[in-house]
Amino acid sequence: MADPIGTEIVVEQDAPFSTPKRSSRVVKPTSKVRDTARQLEDTAIETRRNTRHTTRNVPAEEQIDRPTETRKSSGSGSGSSDGRAMLQKALDLLAESRRETKRLQEALKEQMEMTKELQEAVAKQEQTMHEMGKQMVEMEERMTEELQRAREQLETITTNATDGPQRSYADVARLTSFLPHNDSRTLAAPPNPTDVFYCTIDVSRLGEDEARLSAGTIRATVENQVRSELDNPTWRCRAVTKDPKNPHRVRVTCRDESEHEIVKRVAETKLAPGARILRDDLYPIRVDNVSRIAVLDERNEVLAEITEMLGRENDTEVVKIAWLSKRDVPKAYGSMVVYLKKRSEARRFIDEGFFVAGGESGTTKVSRTIKPASAADRKFAASVHEKVITIADAQKRS
């Protein structure tokens, strides 16, 4: 590089009468200019040195790629075409993205519709389950009522079964040759001596225009009134049955004597007018060898206080008596029939074989030849005749 310090400026002489010009002396730069020029030169030399050093350290691949990039940048026409291609590709990608977004939106919409349908189906299913739950509760209540009704019917059947099989006179007569006489009274007692109390209601006298009282109506009326009287909201009748031979008679089975009295009182006061409460079942026993003067007065009439006296003497409850022997025949001893309120008491006297009357004991046996004075008495006598019979009576009649 030529040294700028040694440069000379030559000024030619023009024609006379020209404008004045500078002198042609050599112009030397100032020290400041020379220092600046030297610094610039040193900087250029240092730059070239660094460039050579960097070029030696750059990998061969970059050295190869650099000319390629230089060539790409140098070709302005090819660069612009690549830019348009990239722009077109970006537009295509944007369009594809929009289409994909639209498809996703449609799929999301379908999914939301499906979710809504599923929610509606779940709501319908819950409603169906709720209705089924209500139906199950109703069915459970009905089943409970039916089970209670079946239990009551079973109790009634069991109660009736305790009376034992009905034996005819011929059956008992055939057994006399095989059983000893001392065991004859054991047949009169069924396996279960528990008394069963009934309240029989007759609805046959209700007017034809009035609705017949059904067993269900009677049950509901009795239960409501007894619950109120006993302050027991869960009380129920033990059983309510109809007489198969007389459908106008409904029988309410009670658990004990106190309950029997309450049911009778409620039935008498709360049922429809015309409904009759029949007299309780009585259980007659026949007593032989009874002192005549202990039962009859001078006019051959039954003593007025005879029932109380016999009840005290035998520690039982006597409802009434009837003299069986002929009253116009003056015999010192005769036979009578005693009507007892409890079946267990009748069985007890039949088993013991004795009944006290006027301080003397008469012999007992089942009443069979009684001719009741009324239809009600006939019912009581027939009841005992069907339920209880002794071998001793069969032997006597054979």
Residue 313 lies in a domain: yes
Question: Is 94 inside any structural domain?
Answer: no
- Measured between alpha carbons, how far is 298 from 266 in angstroms, rounded to an integer? 43
pLDDT of residue 46: 78
Please report the DSSP string for 266-291 in residue order. Answer: HHHHHSPTT-EEPPPP-EEEEEEEEE
Residue 157, pLDDT above cutoff 50: yes
pLDDT, tens digit, for every residue of 96-109? Answer: 999 999 999 999 99
Summarised one tens digit per residue, pLDDT across range 234-270 is: 999 888 888 888 878 888 888 888 888 888 888 888 8
Lookup: tokens for 46? 């240092």
Give pLDDT tens digits for 54-66.
656 555 545 555 5
Look at residue 54 in the predicted model and tell me its pLDDT: 62
Kindly state whether residue 115 falls inside one of the protein's structural domains. no
Q: Does 112 have pLDDT greater than 90?
A: yes
Domain membership of residue 133 (yes or no) is no
pLDDT at residue 152 in the model: 79
Neighbouring CB atoms inside 10 A of 26's CB total: 10
Q: Mark 294-329 as b/e (b = at least 16 C-beta within 10 Å).
A: bbbeeeeebbeebbebbbebbebebbebbbbbeeee
Residue 308: inside a domain, yes or no?
Answer: yes
CA 373 to chain centre: 56
Instruction: Say whether pTM exceeds 0.85.
Output: no
Residue 237 lies in a domain: no
Mean pLDDT of 346-372: 81
d(CA 150, CA 156): 10
Q: State residue 117's pLDDT score.
A: 92
Mean pLDDT of 127-147: 88
pLDDT of residue 179: 42
Contact 199, 277 (CB under 8 A): yes
Which candidate, 336, 363, 367, places its Cα nearest to that of 351?
363
In a domain, 49, yes or no: yes
Q: In what order do the strands lie in the sheet with 197-202?
A: 239-242, 249-254, 197-202, 276-277
Indicate which CATH number applies to the domain containing 375.
3.30.70.330
d(CA 119, CA 342): 70
- Residue 34 domain boundaries: 4-59
As for how many domains the chain has, the answer is 2
Higher per-residue pLDDT: 372 or 352: 352
More confident residue, 25 or 112: 112
Last residue of a domain, one of 59, 80, 95: 59
Q: Give mean pLDDT, residues 324-350.
A: 87
3-class SS at 318? Answer: strand
**Which of the pair, 57 or 327, is modelled with greater confidence?**
327
pLDDT digits (tens, 9 = 90+) for 14-45: 555 555 555 555 556 677 777 777 877 887 78
pLDDT per position as a tens digit, 182-232: 444 434 444 344 567 878 888 877 765 455 667 888 888 888 888 988 888
pLDDT at 55: 57
For range 271-285, the mean pLDDT? 79
Nearest-angstrom CA–CA distance, 231 and 78: 110
Percent of the chain with pLDDT over 90: 12
Q: What is the mean pLDDT of residues 65-87?
A: 64
Buried-state track 134-165, b at ≥16 Cβ within 10 A, e below 16: eeeeeeeeeeeeeeeeeebeeebeebeeebee
Residue 33 lies in a domain: yes
Residue 161's pLDDT is 54
318-323 and 333-340 beta bridge pairing: antiparallel
CA distance 385 to 393: 12
Structure tokens at 331: 């015999």
The answer to whether the CB of 297 falls within 8 A of the CB of 303 is yes
Q: How much is the pLDDT for 286?
A: 92
**Interval 276-295 mean pLDDT:** 85
